Amino acid sequence: MTSIVKSIIASFQAFPIDPFLLAVLAILIPGVIIFLIMAVNALIAVYFERKVSAFMQDRLGPMEVGLFGFKGGKKFWGGIGQTFADAIKLLSKEDIIPQDADKFLMIMAPFIIFTGAFLTFVGLPMSDSLVISNFNIGIFYIIAMSSVGVIGIILAGWSSNNKWSLYGAMRAAAQMISYEIPIALSLILVVLVSGHLDIHGIVQWQADNRWFILHSPFASLGFVIYFISVVAETNRTPFDIPEAESELVAGWMTEYSGFRWALFFLSEYANMLIVAFVASIVFLGGWLSPFQLIDLPFIDIFPESWLVLDGTVFGIFWLFIKAVILIFCMMWFRWTFPRLRVDQLMYVCWKIFIPFALANVILVSIWELIF
Amino acid sequence: MSEYFIEIVNGVKTFLTGMKMTLQHYNNKEELVATLQYPHEKWPIPERNIGFENSEYNLIRSRLHVDIDDCIGCLQCEKVCPVDCIKIDTIKPPKGTDVDFGITSLDTQKKMLVTRFTIDMAECMYCNLCAYPCPEECIYMVGGPNEHKHEIDYEFSQYKRDGLIYEFADPTEDQLAEVGGESYVESRQSQKQKLEDGSNLEGVVEEEKKAVVVEDSKGSVKKEEDTGLTLAIFNDVGDKPARGIAKKAFQAAKRANMNFDAMADYVNGAINDSGKSSPEMTAAINVIRNFKDESVTINTPVKVSAESSSETPEFLEMASTNFDIKILNGIEDKMSRGIAKKAFTSAKRENLDANGKIDFIKKTLNEADKMTDEIDSLISTFAVSDVPPAVVAPEKEVEVEAEAELFDIKLLNDIDNKMARGSAKKVYMAGKRGNKSSSIVLTQIREVLNKAEMMNDDIDGLLKGIG
């Protein structure tokens, strides 16, 4: 199985190049690619979110700011330059560090959170053989890396020397650590069934059999539990008690401004993309075309790969389509439901999701034994 | 234990209900979006009046407007204004001179020249008291019952307060000279010069001066007469005093309407006199000397007095801008001039274009048997050299098209029930945004009203009438 890092090394081996330089290149190029994906994702997702929220609340959202004089759609999808303008504004803002804050930790915290999101992308394939580095424990690595952010959040809350920040950080830690469990338990199902920790193996299993969400009713339930839990994991409404504007100002982000705050924002939207990617890879067949599901009578007449629109390039397309639909669902949740109380949040996690996810693991194993 | 599962089932149910609701809003955005994008879309202005008939009293808080061609300078409005926001200056021709100021649209002979008619809309309290005493009905609030005279204007905000001073009278220098108002011309020029000098002071931040709003179309002609050369050419000169001298000389030369060679010589002379010559300065002067384009011809003003106005140059120049009532001063016979002017004002009121005006004047003159070859050729000059009507901006055209398909929202004002009227208007705006036809919007209004049980026979009849 090839990966981007491997192909970079292979293509530069033809030239007489210093091994040290080669290593730097092999790190730098994927880094730039990941950063670009994160930045573009944030720009588009913020615009998309503002539009979705506006339409759900009978508003229009941004309509005026254009890019090079082009504003976008006249009726509904105007203002395409709004997030660019906001990003420029954000980066040119003053960077304030409170006098009594723990300066070193306060500066470190956004970078730790950002690193967590950044590193997750290393093991996350965009399509067939389009992955920065291919691990044989890919799914495990992704679960581990997405938890790194909690340390950054606690540091941010503690170092700000602010009651709201600290409360927000405490809530975030409790919430994120709790919801790690149902997430991991749901992802375990696919590992149980396919026998792979490696993401390519998981998708290959789905190509050979069927999408994992259709494997059994328990797998479908697993998807629901996973998806709701990751909404909580990414601290989005209705699980946004760590930020809770009406209670905690802005939670653990209260004292941050300018570039550091932009990093939080960037990682928040990158995390959305990551969880949507993982959900589509594990449960929705990843880069596989949905046409593979349909068993059409004339499917044998045409060459299969042509009709089904499969392959690396179409793989990117299918994966992104699935991820975008899931991201839309997350936005849909956000603009539909009111925020949960802290105890309700814990109730949902510990008393509902975890028992059901545990039962799921057992039932899927039994299902596998029987069928 | 069963409570636990019931709770979960309830949770899932309410979860789905909520999701369904927001998705419906998302999908029906075409109808549901309530935002009005203000500068691009506007609600119609509600009409209010204190009288029993809409035409009797008009208290729309819109802008005052003066048809200056009809003003006889009686100062009634100035006297009656409770806040003194109207200022009028007039010049009466000295006794014995025979100057014709034309007739107003109500057939009153004008006897003096209105040199200034300013209304400070920042002071105006919109009491409409000035409109009542006016014998010529030439001052009024725009819009409402006066919609046919002047379209409504309720958005006239400015960045500076002096932008709200509206100047309606704009007599030409020829007209002023005719009535012996040379001192007025001088004072006006010195005022302009002072303003210009003030804006060129060093150390003063130059701001874009908002000119006093001139209502008459000919005002804009003068402003366009710029050479295209600005003081910016001297900005490269490092020596500050030298730059000041050069700028001053340049302004003086520009005011004297010199051509570019003479201008360059003049500036050069001023610099040499003060001994501040430098290579940058020479370069800047060369810029003036070499600056030649078509604007030179426009810049040379044609000094023609009112008497000799039958000569072509002035006419050609004016015709290229607008067909104006002053052109008719070229008619020598007093009677026919009066008739022509009267015809012109009534044609103007009908909003005819230049060709339409000419035809109308010709027709009136023919009826009065006053048509001569001279007048015919004079007027026809403009028909030939008439400017094509200004191209309407494409955006505006689209708006007009969309509006043309739909009926007017004001028709809905007749619905008595306030609630019903509000919901009907909401449906109307949604339909307008969706570019829907009248019949679809009407059916939608019916549906909504039926649903809200606000439908009655009156509304039904009204909607039928619109359809």
For residue A240, the distance in angstroms to the closest alpha carbon of chain B comes to 17
Partner A contacted by B13 (CB < 8 A): no
Amino acid at A315: G
Question: In chain A, what residues touch B4 (CB-CB under 8 Å)?
Answer: 351
What is the side-by-side order of every strand in the sheet holding B213-214? B86-91, B113-120, B165-167, B213-214
Question: What DSSP designation does B412 have?
Answer: G
CA distances (Å), origin B438, targets A254, B402, B405, B407: 52, 11, 7, 6
Question: In chain A, what residues touch B26 (CB-CB under 8 Å)?
Answer: 52, 55-56, 332
Mean pLDDT confidence for A259-264: 86
A108-112, B6-10, B236-240, B309-313: segment of lowest average pLDDT: B309-313
B397 pLDDT band, cuts 50/70/90, is: very low
Partner B contacted by A69 (CB < 8 A): no
Question: What DSSP designation does B409 have?
Answer: G
A66-80, B219-233, B244-258, B301-315 — most confident range: A66-80
| pLDDT score for B15 | 87
Candidates A50, A53, A58, partner chain B, best to mutate (most B CBs within 10 A): A58
> Are B8 and A352 inside 8 Å of each other by CB?
yes
Q: Return all residues near B114 (Cβ < 8 A) that are at least 6 apart.
A: B68, B71, B73, B88, B89, B90, B169, B171
A45-54, A203-212, B244-253, B397-406: segment of lowest average pLDDT: B397-406
Flag whether pLDDT at A140 surpasses 80.
yes
Mean pLDDT confidence for A293-304: 54
Q: Closest residue of B to A333, CA-based?
A: B19
Judged by CB atoms within 8 Å, which residues 20-39 of B form the interface with A? 21-23, 25-26, 29, 32-35, 37
Nearest CB to B23 within list A63, A332, A337? A332
Mean pLDDT confidence for A6-18: 77
| pLDDT score for B336 | 75
Q: Are A153 and A322 in contact (CB under 8 A)?
A: no
A226-230, B195-199, B456-460, B463-467 — most confident range: A226-230
Handedness of CA A208, A213, A214, A219 (dihedral sign): positive
> Are A58 and B25 inside 8 Å of each other by CB?
yes
More confident: B17 or B406: B17
Q: Are A111 and A263 in contact (CB under 8 A)?
A: yes
Q: Which two tokens stand for residue B44?
A: 């119609």
- Pick from B229, B298, B218: which is nearest to B264 by CA? B229
| pLDDT score for B405 | 59
Q: Is B409 exposed, middle or buried (0-12, 13-18, 19+ CB in 10 A)?
A: middle
Q: What is the pLDDT of residues A163-217, one digit of tens each?
A: 888 888 888 888 888 888 999 999 888 888 888 888 888 888 887 777 888 888 8
Candidates A75, A336, A352, partner chain B, best to mutate (most B CBs within 10 A): A336
Q: Are A212 and A152 in contact (CB under 8 A)?
A: no
H/E segment holding residue B4 = helix B2-27
Place of tokens 């307008």: B432
What is the spatial distance between Cα A243 and Cα A70, in angstroms, rounded to a whole number?
Answer: 35
Amino acid at B282: T
Terminal C-alpha separation, chain B = 62
Long-range pairs of B17-23 with CB within 8 A, sequence gap ≥ 24: B18/A336, B18/A337, B19/A332, B19/A333, B19/A336, B21/A336, B22/A56, B22/A332, B22/A335, B22/A336, B23/A332
Partner A contacted by B18 (CB < 8 A): yes
Partner B contacted by A363 (CB < 8 A): no
| pLDDT score for A227 | 92
What is the spatial distance between Cα B141 and Cα B345, in angstroms, rounded to a whole number?
Answer: 20
Mean pLDDT confidence for A291-309: 57
Q: Return all residues near B327 (Cβ < 8 A) that are at least 6 apart.
A: B309, B315, B318, B319, B378, B382
Q: What is the pLDDT of residues A70-84, one digit of tens each?
A: 777 777 888 888 888
Partner A contacted by B398 (CB < 8 A): no
Mean pLDDT confidence for A276-302: 72
| pLDDT score for A240 | 84
Partner B contacted by A359 (CB < 8 A): no
More confident: B387 or A3: A3
Average pLDDT, chain B: 73
Place of tokens 């409360």: A167
> Are B19 and A75 inside 8 Å of each other by CB?
no
> Are B18 and A337 inside 8 Å of each other by CB?
yes
What is the spatial distance between Cα A256 and Cα A54, in angstroms, rounded to a whole number?
Answer: 27
Mean pLDDT confidence for B217-224: 42
B402 pLDDT band, cuts 50/70/90, is: very low
Nearest CB to A52 within list B19, B26, B33? B26
Q: How far is CA B200 from the centre of its chain?
A: 28
Q: What is the pLDDT of residues B266-320, one digit of tens each?
A: 777 777 777 777 777 777 777 777 765 544 444 444 444 444 444 444 444 444 4
Q: Closest residue of B to A77, CA-based?
A: B29
Torsion angles phi and psi, residue A72, rounded to 5: 95, -160
Question: In chain B, what residues touch A336 (CB-CB under 8 Å)?
Answer: 18-19, 21-22
Q: What is the pLDDT of residues B118-173, one digit of tens each?
A: 999 888 888 888 888 988 888 888 876 777 788 777 778 888 887 888 888 887 77
Judged by CB atoms within 8 Å, which residues 409-448 of B form the interface with A? 433
- Pick from A267, A252, A261: which is nearest to A160 by CA? A252
For residue A293, the distance in angstroms to the closest alpha carbon of chain B comes to 26
What is the spatial distance between Cα A205 and Cα A9, in angstroms, rounded to a whole number?
Answer: 29
| pLDDT score for B313 | 45
Torsion angles phi and psi, residue B214, rounded to 5: -100, 120
> Are B29 and A336 inside 8 Å of each other by CB?
no
Mean pLDDT confidence for A250-255: 83
Nearest CB to A56 within list B4, B8, B22? B22
Strand partners, B103: B109
Strand B139-141 relative to strand B165-167: parallel, antiparallel, unpaired? unpaired
Q: What percent of chain B has pLDDT over 70?
A: 71
Q: Is A257 exposed, middle or buried (0-12, 13-18, 19+ CB in 10 A)?
A: middle
CA distances (Å), origin B204, targets A78, B200, B201, B237: 41, 8, 6, 18
Question: In chain B, what residues touch A228 (CB-CB under 8 Å)?
Answer: none
Q: What is the pLDDT of residues A85-107, one digit of tens each?
A: 888 888 888 888 888 888 888 88
Question: In chain B, what residues touch A59 (CB-CB under 8 Å)?
Answer: 33-35
Q: Closest residue of A to B31, CA-based?
A: A58
Mean pLDDT confidence for B243-250: 76
A362 pLDDT band, cuts 50/70/90, is: very high
A159-168, A332-341, B93-102: segment of lowest average pLDDT: B93-102
Reduced to 3 states (helix: H, G, I; strand: E, B; else coil), residue B177 is: helix
What is the spatial distance between Cα A46 and Cα A87, in angstroms, rounded to a whole number?
Answer: 10
| pLDDT score for B213 | 55
For residue A313, the distance in angstroms to the closest alpha carbon of chain B comes to 31
- Please provide the CATH number assigned to the domain covering B64-184: 3.30.70.3270
Question: In chain B, what residues touch A60 (CB-CB under 8 Å)?
Answer: 33, 35, 37
Mean pLDDT confidence for B343-359: 72
B80 pLDDT band, cuts 50/70/90, is: very high
| pLDDT score for B277 | 73
Cis peptide before A290 (omega within 30 of 0): no
What is the spatial distance between Cα B53 and Cα A367, in angstroms, rounded to a whole number?
Answer: 83
A54-58, A72-76, A342-346: segment of lowest average pLDDT: A72-76
> Are B19 and A336 inside 8 Å of each other by CB?
yes
| B464 dihedral zone (left: phi>0; alpha: psi -120 to 50; beta) | alpha
Question: In chain A, what residues touch B33 (CB-CB under 8 Å)?
Answer: 55, 58-60, 76
What is the spatial distance between Cα A277 and Cα A185, in angstroms, rounded to a whole number?
Answer: 18
Mean pLDDT confidence for B369-392: 61
User: B221: how many CB neighbours lie within 10 A of its CB?
Assistant: 16
| pLDDT score for B211 | 55
For residue A223, the distance in angstroms to the closest alpha carbon of chain B comes to 15
Handedness of CA B73, B76, B77, B83 (dihedral sign): positive
What is the spatial distance between Cα A279 and Cα A300, in angstroms, rounded to a whole number?
Answer: 31
Flag whether pLDDT at B218 surpasses 50.
no
Strand B213-214 relative to strand B165-167: parallel, antiparallel, unpaired? parallel
Question: In chain A, what residues touch B22 (CB-CB under 8 Å)?
Answer: 56, 332, 335-336
- Pick from B241, B68, B46: which is nearest to B152 by CA? B46
The 3-state secondary structure of chain A reads: CCCHHHHHHHHHCCCCCCHHHHHHHHHHHHHHHHHHHHHHHHHHHHHHHHHHHHHHCCCCCCCCCCECCECECCCCCECCCHHHHHHHHHHCCCCCCCCCCCHHHHHHHHHHHHHHHHHHHHHCCCECCECCCCCCCHHHHHHHHHCHHHHHHHHHHHHCCCHHHHHHHHHHHHHHHHHHHHHHHHHHHHHHHHCCCCHHHHHHHHHHCCCHHHCCHHHHHHHHHHHHHHHHHCCCCCCCCCCCHHHHCCHHHCCCCHHHHHHHHHHHHHHHHHHHHHHHHHCCCCCCCHHHHCCCHHHHCCCHHHHHCCCHHHHHHHHHHHHHHHHHHHHHHHCCCCCCCHHHHHHHHHHHHHHHHHHHHHHHHHHHHHC
A262 pLDDT band, cuts 50/70/90, is: confident
Q: Closest residue of B to A51, CA-based?
A: B26
Domain assignments of chain B as residue spans, ordered by start: 2-32, 64-184, 230-290, 312-384, 394-466
Question: In chain A, what residues touch B29 (CB-CB under 8 Å)?
Answer: 55, 58, 76
What is the spatial distance between Cα A194 and Cα A201, in angstroms, rounded to a whole number?
Answer: 8
Terminal C-alpha separation, chain A = 30
| pLDDT score for B13 | 92
User: B253: how many CB neighbours lie within 10 A of its CB?
Assistant: 21
Crossing angle of helices A163-194 and A217-233, rounded to 10°: 160
> Are A75 and B34 inside 8 Å of each other by CB?
no
